[in-house]
Structure 1
Amino acid sequence: MKVLVTGGAGFIGSHIVDLLIDQGHQVAIIDNFSTGNETNVNIKADLYRMDILDDAIISLFETFKPEVVIHHAAQIDIQSSIKKPAFDASINIVGTVKMLDACRAVGVRKFIYASSAAVYGNPQYLPVDEGHPVRPLSYYGISKHTPEHYLEVFAHQNDLDFTILRYANVYGIRQDPKGEGGVISIFIDKLLSNVEPKIYGDGEQTRDFIYVKDIARANIAALDHGSKGIYNISNNKQTTINELYNLISDFTNNNARPHYTNERSGDILHSVLDNSAALRDLRWEPQYTLRDGLRETCGYYLKHYFNK
């Protein structure tokens, strides 16, 4: 089928594109390369250098005529959202609405939307399921949640199916350690650069980490499953930052001790997402344990880090 992937040159989007092409789908990518990387782009995909806010998007839709749109183009830097909430909203909210308008205009069958655990805010109970109250603590969380409402109304008023995927903490090859990179890519970068890593607080805070290849598989599963559903995509396992650091330290052959500093105001202490709905409805389950995903990720960077 014809699938359009926004943000297809980015960390997660490029892995989705690769898997789609491996499975024989015809893929087009929209990316403005604000955070995407040209080296991530699969040469078998059609690449369109454009912004999702560009009015020319509709012409691309009319030419390519996608059956499914997988939407990953977004402003993902939480600190940037705090400093520039209007800019954050323009990309994550207005940009998504423009994509939905284009879908309506050309009769796209399904829209798969990448949301985030950030929509939940401070957990009232663990594990967090999809029925948990939505109380985001950041403008980013608000800007990722708001399009979910637009999507539901668009689907109700038009012949458009959708699946919303709320990701836990995603990690893996191609994740940028700079800026708002995930803690795993930051730890790997610091250890391979022989720079002392920093841990906020005592390191006993917990997160739920999911490997990017499992995220890609969840998007593939959503092509034909999960109609009009919202699903947590996670490993459903808690890992402390200290445990995480020790694993990465072992896999990078660097036993440097981290520097502990004051905890950050507003940081959530514990988080884990219940993935049972995705296992049931998407017929998906994670194939990588944290140890397996870290071994593959660290192994890749050990081979390629000093040749970049």
Structure 2
Amino acid sequence: MRKLLITGAAGFLASHLVDLMLSRGYDVTGVDDLSHGNVQNLDGALRDSRFHFCQADVCDMSALRHCVDKVDTVIHLAAYKIPRYGTATKTLLVNSQGTMNALQLACEKSAKFVITSTSDVYGKNPNVPFSEDADSVLGSPTVGRWAYATSKRYDEHLVLAMAEDCGIYTTVLRIFGSYGPRQNLSWWGGPQSVFIDAILRDEVIPIHGDGQQTRSFTFVSDTVRGIAAAAESSNCNQEIINIGANEEVSILDLASRIYRMCGKSGSPAIKLIPYDEIANRKYEDVRRRIPDTRKAKELLNFEAKIPLEQGLLETIAWQRQWITPLVQAD
């Protein structure tokens, strides 16, 4: 039986990936320290005899080694995201050391290694859609939010170089704006998560900046299909591949769509928050972030299929189940 190790397994994306790979017949070990992941995301997997959960910190190499004996493929998703409110230290250290350890384990086991990077590495590059060989245009280190993109750019270099040195197969995936059931309900989950929460609670919708910035949003089932396609492919060694949908939507438009889909009438109450007021420190945003997805189609035969409104309706229905009891309790 083919054996996988998935890091960050109790998190949003990785828990869906665990479910998908179990459904495809894999033996899966999931690793998570539960600092941000939720073990409830693995309820279904824990009932499957082919799934083993190991609570461990990917930054602890000894603990990571104890989680698995034999493994054919390591899929590394564990990471800290943009430090919008907290400090950048954890983002830099966890993302660098955690990747080093997961990669070292793959080398020791002669396993394929797939890592999820981020569309944030394209930074402020104005030339959209972003192709995989586009320049990375990051802001100053004095702006903490760039720590995430910097850490992931470092991870990409480390993975491609170290995998070549130890002779293992590797693929880097740049993920664009995933959303869906199990998403984090804070800004870690993305703007759609925060907007749904505010609307269902009849609160003002907070929007950072002027709301004219644009993004693409990829439903979680599409994202994990793309990750699985890379894990199963023999056609993308030493490749970097964008995984995402390519419908461009402004953040203001996203808020209005969600407001309507939540069954509200009239115009939403919106508060525009200047960037420097997000955490009372300097902050910079990306004006447009849209992927060029031709490489994913060519190498993986992958393209996102779920329309934004369909995905949002499913996400709203899931999030409503979590929020309604809290609103009633209030």
Pick the aligned partner of 1:48 from 20, 41, 54.
54
Aligned counterparts of 1:122 and 1:249: Cα–Cα separation in 2 = 29
Q: Secondary structure at the match of 1:112?
A: strand
Aligned counterparts of 2:63 and 2:312: Cα–Cα separation in 1 = 40
Shift in CA distance, 203/303, structure 1 to aligned 2, threshold 3 Å: same
Amino acid at match of 1:271: R
Aligned counterparts of 1:30 and 1:178: Cα–Cα separation in 2 = 23
Amino acid at match of 2:169: D
* Cα RMSD (Å): 1.7
2:162 is the counterpart of 1:188: no
Alpha-carbon offset, residue 179 of structure 1? 4.7
TM-score where L is the length of structure 1: 0.93
Task: Spell out, residue by residue over 1:7-47, the C-alpha distance to the aligned partner (whole angstroms, 9 max, x if none).
Answer: 01001100100111111111110000000001101212210
Which residue is equivalent to 1:20?
21
Checking the alignment, whether the CA contact within 8 Å between 2:123 and 2:138 is kept in structure 1 is: yes
Which residue is equivalent to 1:127?
129
Aligned counterparts of 2:116 and 2:317: Cα–Cα separation in 1 = 28
Task: Spell out, residue by residue over 1:206-252, the C-alpha distance to the aligned partner (whole angstroms, 9 max, x if none).
Answer: 11111111111011101222222101111122101122112211221
Which residue is equivalent to 1:89?
92
Which residue is equivalent to 1:59?
66
Aligned counterparts of 1:106 and 1:267: Cα–Cα separation in 2 = 40
Q: Percent of aligned positions with the same letter in both sequences?
A: 30
2:230 is the counterpart of 1:212: no
Alpha-carbon offset, residue 303 of structure 1? 4.4
Amino acid at match of 2:67: L
Tell me, which stretches of 5 or more residues in structure 1 are unaligned?
none
Pick the aligned partner of 1:299 from 317, 321, 330.
317
Deviates more, 1:184-193 or 1:249-258: 249-258
Alpha-carbon offset, residue 151 of structure 1? 0.9
Pick the aligned partner of 2:160 from 141, 148, 152.
152
Task: Spell out, residue by residue over 1:111-160, the C-alpha distance to the aligned partner (whole angstroms, 9 max, x if none).
Answer: 11010011111023111111111233301110111011111112211221
Which residue is equivalent to 2:106?
103
Which residue is equivalent to 2:293?
275
Checking the alignment, whether the CA contact within 8 Å between 1:77 and 1:179 is kept in structure 2 is: no
Aligned counterparts of 1:130 and 1:263: Cα–Cα separation in 2 = 31
Alpha-carbon offset, residue 56 of structure 1? 2.2
Which residue is equivalent to 1:250?
260
Alpha-carbon offset, residue 306 of structure 1? 2.1
Pick the aligned partner of 1:169 from 163, 173, 177.
177
TM-score where L is the length of structure 2: 0.87
